[in-house]
Amino acid sequence: MATRITPYRSDEVPPYKYQQINNFDSYIRVIDLRPSIRLEDELTCSFRLVKCVGLFGTLDYEALSYTWGSSDTVDFIRIVDGQQVLGRLPVARNLDQALRHLRHRRKCRSLWVDALCINQSDDEEKRSQILHMSWIYRLASRTVIWLGTGSSDVEEGLKWAARVGRGWSHNKLSLGRMHRAYVEKMMMRSGKHI
């Protein structure tokens, strides 16, 4: 059951102040995105630290991969701790749409989202976390790719991915054959031969 939080207007909630991560090389922030039945309901999440160093396998978060798109803020996500509202963070249009469509209806969803989980105004944190992005994605239970709410480009991309996926699962060589001509063409353009 979802925790009930008193609704506020966005301008009544102060900007969120990130808690410092004391050891950038060992920890990352993840969000626990609160559930909602309705798409238009306010975005709400809490942060938690996850220890990542020396671990193998996967951890209990999903990594979100998406295009940042326009940096125009369309809304805010409210940051909470239990029922206490800690502040709000701006959310650009594409991330807003992704979070609204990806949140669960009845339970929290744990996500690593670069724009939220990395303090974008702390250059030291950004440098450190960006260096560790490969293991952030590798340790995630899975990577969720958000392509948008739909367009002909997205539909074509999904059809292509399905064709590649079928070729890969039925005949591992088909992926190589399918792309060999393209790779050869690109290598020849760069002056290299394969």
Per-residue confidence band for 176, with pLDDT thresholds at 50, 70 and 90:
very low
Distance CA 84, CA 89 (A): 15
User: 193 near 187, Cβ under 8 Å?
Assistant: yes
Number of Cβ within a 10 Å radius of residue 164 = 14
pLDDT: is 51 or 109 the higher one? 109
**Stated pTM of the model:** 0.74
Number of Cβ within a 10 Å radius of residue 50 = 18
Residues 6 or more apart whose CB falls under 8 angstroms from that of 72 comprise 92, 93
- Quick check: 170 pLDDT over 60? no
